[in-house]
Amino acid sequence: MISKEQVTHVADLARLEFDEAQLNNFTTQLDKIVDFVDQLNEVDTTGIEPTTHVTSAVNVFRDDVPQKGEGRAALLKNVPEERDGLIRVPAIIDKEED
Amino acid sequence: MVDYFNEDITSLHDKLVRKEISVRQLVEATYDYIDKTEGKVNAFITLNKEAALKQADALDEKGVDPDNLLSGIPLGIKDNIVTKGLKTTAASHILDNFMPVYNATVMDKLDALDTITVGKTNMDEFAMGGSTETSYFGKTHNPWNLDKVPGGSSGGSAAAVAAGEVIAALGTDTGGSIRQPAAFNGIFGIKPTYGRVSRWGLMAFGSSLDQIGVMSRTIKDSALVLNAISGHDEHDGTSAAADVPDFTAALNQDIKGLKIAVPKEYMDEGVDDDVVSAIKAAIATFEKLGATVEEVTLPYTKYAVPAYYIIASSEASSNLQRYDGIRYGFRAKDVNSLKSVYVRSRSEGFGDEVKRRIMLGSFSLSAGYYDAYFKKAAQVRTLVKRDFDQLFEKYDLVLGPTAPTSAFGLGEKITDPVTMYLNDILTIPANLAGIPAASVPAGFSKDGLPIGVQLMAKALDEATIFKAADAFERHTDFHNQVPAFKGGQN
């Protein structure tokens, strides 16, 4: 069983928040989904290596050569709040924050 | 003047080269038709009319290259593939104003061949879903029956092709998102081998699974477009260094002696009778054409769905961390701390299905649960892949239905995530194994909805899929049927 406390904890890890109604809804749904994925416990995976990717590539490197980027003006076009060519954000150091 | 139901890329190309029509006339006819059908279908999020007409004029001036079949051909592009200067949203509120500053590699390749981007097609938000109902920009309707879903997540691309709005479209497939909508819309759709097509510029969902592919009414058109977009790319470390064959060389071949395996799990209970009948008829056609078909077993099929949902959601929870409201995308109003910019922008910007996947993924990766969930799923993935490896030692193709049902009703499954997830059971295994797979039109249900037969081959062997699919297409007439646009009074 997934508890509301667990859901709240995971939501915090994922930087999401839910109101009470959403929390109840997500807890019920996630409980069902976790219950569904728990059927993997029927499979004996003793000694089986996990597969995290399916290519045979190991580490793919490129030469460390400087390349031209898109440019500051282009990159700033999508910034939600901008001032003087900089990205504007709320105070980062805030005594009330953890 | 131009009716995509009676054309393919080659016939359009001939008309353009002979100057029977100009590129401008072709593009104008495309938008005129879209104006008439979009009210019913809603396949596009963004149309690119002004730029497309400008490009058409430039091409008419320069002249269509008689050696380049794709020159001046209008295409639909799924809205999770970034297009420089053309809004790209992934069907999400969090990116509803996002203007890419660079092109995906597939777009650079298509641009170099002078294809014309008609617009960006609708999809499930961040490609998470099997019905295109999770889009922030409204639902897409299935042209065969407007009360049914087009499937998903590439539902807009599939519906646009099936409705005759474009001749072909790009889609993406993480767990069946090209093949299932292709099946639901009565068209061809191919997910190539993982690594065959560069994902540079594809908005990442499940990075070990995502692949870009093609959807079209004819198999040859998909072969032509796949030829154009395949190949190694230094911008994508997972792209395959292997040579790309000319996929059209696989067409018009004899399939005598082709060895096909049909897993009994793919024809099991849970698969509709109509679908089973259509697949059995397809098997009979392949046998008539000289292929040998044998029943085999893929015992881990049932576990592919739960393994996939853990793996894809874990990768998604990591990939979607970048949407934080700082550098691009939606930022929540009236927030006074950095953490609340993150939390509020994400909570207001993402839809429920995306949040569910992020939550499942974060849970599966979190301290104390990693071994029981993520690692376990990755081990089961090994078993699924091993089963396919063994089959491909003996067989050229694995065949089964693409989806257990034909298109379901709008609103029918959206409230029950697990039921929706189970609809992907027959497409997910190919993504877990990284192998190429396609859906080919194979018949209709009793109520007139399309059914697809799925063909899977070993890694980098798309050619065998094209060869078999083309032989099947030449001996059947399903791909020539035209949708009825019925229903839709709601």
Asked whether residue B60 is assigned to any structural domain, the reply reads: yes
Q: Tokens representing B429?
A: 């295994």
Architecture of domain A4-40: Orthogonal Bundle (1.10)
- Residue B381 to residue A51, Cβ atoms within 8 A: yes
pLDDT at A57: 80
pLDDT at B490: 46
What whole-number distance in Å separates Cα of residue B403 and Cα of residue B401? 5
pLDDT at A60: 87
- From the number of C-beta atoms within 10 Å of its C-beta (0-12, 13-18, 19+), residue B272 rates as middle
The answer to whether A97 faces chain B, any CB pair under 8 Å, is: yes
Segment B229-244, tens digit of pLDDT? 999 999 999 999 999 9
Segment A22-56, tens digit of pLDDT? 999 999 999 999 999 999 999 999 999 999 999 87
What whole-number distance in Å separates Cα of residue B154 and Cα of residue B158? 6
Task: Specify the CATH number for the domain of residue B195.
Answer: 3.90.1300.10
Chain A residues with CB inside 8 Å of B344's CB? 17
Q: Is B366 a catalytic residue?
A: no
pLDDT at B114: 98
The answer to whether A63 faces chain B, any CB pair under 8 Å, is: no
- What is the number of structural domains in chain B? 1
Banded model confidence at residue A95, pLDDT cuts 50, 70, 90: low
Query: Chain-centre distance of CA B185, in angstroms?
Result: 12
Q: Is B256 a catalytic residue?
A: no
Q: Is the pLDDT of residue A8 over 80?
A: yes
Name residues of chain B where pLDDT drops below 50.
490
The answer to whether A49 faces chain B, any CB pair under 8 Å, is: yes
Helix H, strand E, coil C: the string for chain A is CCCHHHHHHHHHHCCCCCCHHHHHHHHHHHHHHHHHHHHHHHCCCCCCCCCCCCCCCCCCCCCCCCCCCCCHHHHHCCCCCEECCEECCCCCCCCCCC
Q: Is B71 a catalytic residue?
A: no
Q: Of how many residues is chain A composed?
A: 98
Banded model confidence at residue A96, pLDDT cuts 50, 70, 90: low
Query: Chain-centre distance of CA B188, in angstroms?
Result: 10
- Residue A49 to residue B344, Cβ atoms within 8 A: no
Segment B383-432, tens digit of pLDDT? 999 999 999 999 999 999 999 999 999 999 998 889 889 999 999 999 99
pLDDT at B323: 98
Asked whether residue B365 is assigned to any structural domain, the reply reads: no
- Give the structural domain span for B70: 4-255+437-480
> What are the residue boundaries of the structural domains of chain A, listed by start?
4-40
pLDDT at B117: 98
Asked whether residue B412 is assigned to any structural domain, the reply reads: no
The phi, psi pair for A83, rounded to 5°, reads: -145, 130
The answer to whether A72 faces chain B, any CB pair under 8 Å, is: no
What Å distances lie between residue A59 and A28, A54, B23, B234, CA to CA?
Answer: 41, 14, 45, 13
What whole-number distance in Å separates Cα of residue B373 and Cα of residue B366? 9
- Residue B303 to residue A42, Cβ atoms within 8 A: yes
Asked whether residue B169 is assigned to any structural domain, the reply reads: yes
**Whether B262 contacts B400, CB under 8 Å:** yes
